[in-house]
Amino acid sequence: MVWLPQELTSVREFQSADGLSRGVIFRRLDGLFGFCGERQVDVDGMTVWHPWGEGGIYETVDAAERAAMAEMPWIFDRNSN
């Protein structure tokens, strides 16, 4: 799924129904939460994952999920875990 630095722990991962976007809610070392995403883009004829949808810092996982859903509404489809 989405690449995260070692100090971040994935809490919930999700992928769009078309498979072209993916995201993650994560927990930081300080116990706060955030989210980020990636989408497939074509660069010079190659398909690569490009970062997008990076949110702020949230006190709860629920707050991070609400912010992620506002920016990436597709995240809570059938393919989320």
Break the chain into its structural domains and give their ranges.
10-57
pLDDT of res. 76: 61
**78, pLDDT greater than 60:** no
Instruction: Specify the pTM.
Output: 0.82
28 in Cβ contact with 11 (< 8 Å): no
The residue with greater pLDDT, 60 or 3, is 60
* Tens digits of residue pLDDT in 34-70: 999 999 999 999 999 988 767 899 999 999 999 998 8
pLDDT of res. 53: 67
- Please state the φ and ψ torsions of residue 30, each to the nearest 5 degrees: -80, 5
Radius of gyration of the chain (CA): 13
